[in-house]
Chain A
Amino acid sequence: MASSHGTPPVFNNKVIAWVDHRLPIFSYIEKEYHTFPTPRNFNYFWNFGAIATVMLVLMIATGIVLATNYTPHVLMAFDAVERIDRDVQQGWLIRDLHMNGASFFFIAVYIHIFRGMYYGSYKAPRELLWILGVVIFLLMMATAFMGYVLPWGQMSFWGATVITNLFSAIPIVGESIVTWLWGGFAVDNPTLNRFFALHYLLPFIIVAVVALHVVALHVHGSNNPTGIDPKGPQDTVPFHPYYTMKDGFGVVCFLIVFSVFVFFAPDYLGHPDNYIPANPLVTPAHIVPEWYFLPFYAILRAIPDKLGGVLAMFGAIAVLFVLPWLDTSRVRSCTFRPIYKWFMMFLVVDVIVLGICGSKPAEGFWVPLSQLATLYYFAHFLVLLPVLGKIERPLPLPASIADSVLKKKAV
């Protein structure tokens, strides 16, 4: 693991020493979460990994309680969710935490991804760390999508219909795949049952991939806002108590914003149509996914061809897997990349524009706008990123992390 952590810890407690001699979990915790040398110059963007972890645990904890009160049957699911709201002790709280928790998990992860991109955390030697993160993101999307189906409201049903139908775009075997996914010839009870089973399974797979993500992180340690590697003890602090306290503070701040939604606007991020029980005979005027899928939904609809749209949508995520090799710049952090910094900001604007387009009906001015925004999205990764790395002249890097911290202090 990362650099030298000094001598192995000595435990005074005999039981702990006995256990640790046979199964070194205490040494592991000591080494990876206490003395672990961490760059001293993190800004608050570095909180979002811890925040996302807290949200994952919260989602699993509330989800297990919800599952004990939920019935995955097309005739009973809607009422089962309402029963949790009305008749289960504090059931409303558990449900509001879970449904808003999904949104806030995505908020945390989107900020975490932005952090990784802005400060170049995906570059060597952290490519696998980044790829594991993209895998987590994909698993989250699948889990969230299937979770949204479970209340069996109108948007649940029609969202499931639209998304599963995407697979019918695959030539030759598409229709068969869709029938296989549904477990029948329409979205129906077998679909709901398997989505429930998978919605319960996938979070634990996410936990496993998060564990790999953390292991990979601890090989070379965290990146930092300067993007330069720590050169010695003066550049780092022990993870505990410095970052346990800072992360703890960040987590509590995040939970305050989360609580505002949970307790004062629990349905704000949802769609009213999902309080209408699913009806296969009535299509909602306007089918929209949850907000966190809107940019990808816009990319899907921007391409006038079904298969093309599906490929573009998956391509928008696939391109993230090769991001470490598309970026040709030797400098990690945007702080020292005077041109790319602005393109990075513009990518954020572009994704927000895509999100807005995704929430609008695919008509009029929104169609060319989403096409333009889609084009820019791909151009950013496939053209700008490789080319800019070659032509941009980065600013001079600080001599060391400690140097950059002390300089900032002097200003």
Chain B
Amino acid sequence: MRKPFARNLLVSGAIALAALATGTVAIAAGGTEHPPHRHWHFQGPFGTYDRAAAQRGFQVYQEVCAACHSLSLMAYRNLTDLGLTENQVKGLIKDITVSDLNDDGAVVDRPARPSDRFRKPFPNEAAAAAANNGKAPPDLSVIVKAREAGPDYIYGILTGYVPYDKLTPEQIKEFDVKKDDYFNKYFPGHKIAMAPPLSDDKVTYADGTKATLDQEAADVTEFLAWASEPHMEDRKRTGVRVILFLLALAGLMYAVKRTVWADKH
């Protein structure tokens, strides 16, 4: 792990700008391969979300991932941040129903509204676990922040499956892989409960983009990165202004300090 090492350099006063230079650094978890580093539109000090990719990613999430994974911190109205109009959002969710209580206190299904949180695939964690061999699929709201190497890891998992017949005998032996296990290059311990979720033409993109596995994985990662931090662009924009202001202020302060001290040096 190189990251904590860099953290410790901070203590010595070498605060520098190491953060920007290193960005995200992958870690090795028990002999697991590092997911390869990809360039993401949202990385770097001026990076923004690729709206078109994130919208396609929403389609992938909605048609594939949402069957098992909740996105509980997001509301449908948040999709307007991706450049959709309110009517477009309403159109996208017209077939989604959410459960609610009616005036008589009975549980009913009703059409989703933009103000609703994303529909959860299971009523509660126990139901999610029961339907998935005992372990509930994780919520994806902050998944990109919750993993070392963030987007590279998510993309890596989605594209890192190796079919049983492509595994070497050593891999099968070392990780005790059975015929119906799923093997993923980038998952710690390699054996992952999730079946390969994406494949070529798993979805048909509304904008005509060719739906290859890579494309789908990259798009849904872009979408999940946005879901993890919808205010990222605001943060960076504010940062540029704050730092420019502080640099100017530092210059003024230095000039004043020099003037004040002129007769003492």
A interface residue numbers (CB < 8 A to B): 40, 79, 82-83, 85-86, 92-93, 96, 103, 107, 110-111, 237, 241-242, 245-246, 248-249, 252-253, 255-257, 259-269, 272-273, 275-277, 285, 288, 291-292, 294-295, 348, 351-352, 355-356, 359-360, 409
In the assembled complex, B126 has its CB within 8 A of some CB on chain A? no
Stretch in B60-68, B146-154, B193-201 with 4+ CB within 8 Å of A? B146-154
For A262, list chain B residues within 8 Å (CB).
239
Q: Is A360's CB under 8 angstroms from B1's CB?
A: yes
Q: Are A252 and B142 in touch, CB under 8 angstroms?
A: no
Report yes or no: A107 in contact with B10, Cβ–Cβ below 8 A.
yes
**A256 CA to B254 CA in the complex, in Å?**
14
Chain A residues with Cβ below 8 Å from B11 are 107, 110, 291-292, 295, 351-352, 355
Q: How far is the CB of A180 from chain B (nearest CB, A)?
A: 31
Q: Given the known inter-chain contacts A246-B261, A259-B246, A263-B235, please indicate yes or no for A359 contacting B256, CB distance below 8 A.
A: no
| Interface stretch of the complex, out of B14-22, B155-163, B166-174 | B14-22
B73-86 CB mask vs A (1 if < 8 Å, else 0) is 10000000000000
**Per-residue interface assignment for chain B, residues 47 to 72, with 1 indicating a CB less than 8 Å from any chain A CB and 0 otherwise:** 00000000000000000000000001
Asked if B105 is at the interface (CB within 8 A of a chain A CB), the reply is: no
How close is B256's CB to chain A, nearest CB, in angstroms? 6
A135 to chain B, nearest CB (A): 21
Residues of A contacting B7 in the complex (Cβ-Cβ under 8 angstroms)? 269, 291, 294, 355, 359
Flag if A93 contacts B238 (CB, 8 Å).
yes
Given the complex of chains A and B, what is the CA–CA distance between A237 and B260 in angstroms?
A: 11
User: Are the C-beta atoms of B20 and A264 separated by less than 8 Å?
Assistant: yes
Q: Which residues of B contact A257 (CB under 8 A)?
A: 15
Contact for B188 among A248, A252, A269, A285, CB less than 8 A: A285
Given A82-B141, A245-B257, decide whether A272 and B8 contact each other with a Cβ distance below 8 A: no
Chain A: minimal CB distance from B130 (Å): 16
**In the assembled complex, B243 has its CB within 8 A of some CB on chain A:** yes
Chain A positions within 8 Å of B15 at CB level: 107, 257
A264-B19, A352-B11 known; A256 vs B250 contact (CB < 8 Å): yes
Cα-based distance from A259 to B19 in the complex (angstroms): 12
B45 within 8 A of A: yes
Whether the pair A86, B230 counts as a contact (CB closer than 8 A) is yes
Which residues of chain A are within 8 angstroms of B257 by Cβ–Cβ distance? Answer: 245-246, 248-249
Which residues of A sit under 8 angstroms from B238, Cβ to Cβ?
93, 263
B102 within 8 A of A: no
Residues of chain B within 8 A of A261, CB atoms compared: 19
Tell me whether B235 and A96 are in contact (CB under 8 A). Answer: yes
- Whether a CB of chain A sits under 8 angstroms from the CB of B96 is no
B208 near A: Cβ within 8 Å? no
The answer to whether A356 touches B5, judged by C-beta atoms less than 8 angstroms apart, is: yes
Number of A-B contacts (CB under 8 A): 133
The residues of A that contact B236 with a CB separation of less than 8 Å are 263-264
Q: Determine if A245 and B260 form an interchain contact, defined as CB atoms under 8 angstroms apart.
A: yes
A291 touches which of B10, B231, B235, B247 (Cβ 8 Å)? B10
A-B contact pairs, 5 of them (CB 8 A): A92-B235, A245-B256, A266-B235, A277-B139, A288-B4
Distance in Å from the Cβ of A269 to the closest Cβ of chain B? 6
- Please give the residue numbers on chain B whose beta carbons come within 8 Å of chain A beta carbons, in ascending order: 1, 4-5, 7-13, 15, 17, 19-20, 29-30, 45, 72-73, 138-139, 141-142, 145-148, 150, 188, 228-231, 234-236, 238-240, 242-243, 246-247, 249-250, 253-254, 256-257, 260-261, 264-265
Given contacts A255-B246, A291-B7, contact A92 B231 (CB under 8 A): yes
Q: In the assembly, what is the distance between CA of A256 and CA of B260, in Å?
A: 23
| Given contact pairs A92-B231, A263-B235, A253 touches B8 in the complex (Cβ within 8 A) | no
The chain B residue sitting closest to A85, CB to CB, is B231
How near does chain B come to A369, taking the closest CB pair, in angstroms? Answer: 13
Question: Contact partner of B239 among A107, A264, A292, CB < 8 A?
Answer: A264
Chain B neighbourhood of A260, CB < 8 A? 17, 19-20, 239, 243
- Min distance, Cβ A271 to any Cβ of chain B, angstroms: 9
Shortest beta-carbon distance from A127 to chain B in Å: 25
Closest to A41 in B: B264
CB distance from B160 to the nearest CB of A (A): 18
Q: How far is the CB of B131 from chain A (nearest CB, A)?
A: 19
B30 to chain A, nearest CB (A): 8
The docked-state distance in angstroms from the alpha carbon of A265 to that of B1 is 18
Closest 9 CB pairs of A and B: A263-B239, A359-B4, A275-B146, A265-B19, A355-B8, A291-B7, A249-B253, A275-B145, A245-B257
A256→B4 contact, CB < 8 A:
no
Q: Determine the distance from Cα of A246 to Cα of B262 in the docked complex, in whole angstroms.
A: 12
Chain B residues, Cβ within 8 Å of A265: 19-20
Q: Across the interface, which residues of A come within 8 angstroms of B9, CB to CB? A: 352
Give the chain B neighbours of A241 by CB distance below 8 A: 260
User: What residues on B are CB-neighbors of A252 within 8 Å?
Assistant: 246, 249-250, 253
- Nearest residue (CB) in B for A277 is B139
- Contact partners of A82 in chain B: CB under 8 A: 73, 141-142
Asked whether A93 and B261 contact (CB < 8 A) given A107-B10, A260-B243, the answer is: no
Nearest CB in chain B to that of A96: its residue:
B235
Closest Cβ of chain B to A11, distance in Å, is 24
Q: Which residues of A contact B249 (CB under 8 A)?
A: 252
A106 to B36, CA, bound (A): 34
What is the CA–CA distance of A248 and B250 in the complex, to the nearest angstrom? 9
Q: With contacts A291-B7, A291-B11 known, is A272 near B20, CB below 8 A? A: no
CB distance from B184 to the nearest CB of A (A): 17
In angstroms, Cα B47 to Cα A264, docked, is: 10
Separation of A227 and B63 alpha carbons in the complex (Å) = 71
Instruction: Name the CB-closest residue of A to B231.
Output: A92
Looking at the assembled complex, report how far the CB atom of A347 sits from the nearest CB atom of chain B, in whole angstroms. Answer: 11
A342 CB, min distance to chain B CBs, angstroms: 16
Residues of chain B contacted by A360 (CB below 8 angstroms)? 1, 4
Cβ-closest chain A residue relative to B256:
A245
Q: Which residues on B sit within 8 Å (CB–CB) of A268?
A: 19
Give the residues in chain A near B73, CB-CB below 8 Å. Answer: 79, 82-83, 86
Which one of A86, A237, A246, A266 has the highest number of Cβ atoms from chain B below 10 Å of its Cβ? Answer: A86
* CA–CA, A101 and B246, complex, Å: 17
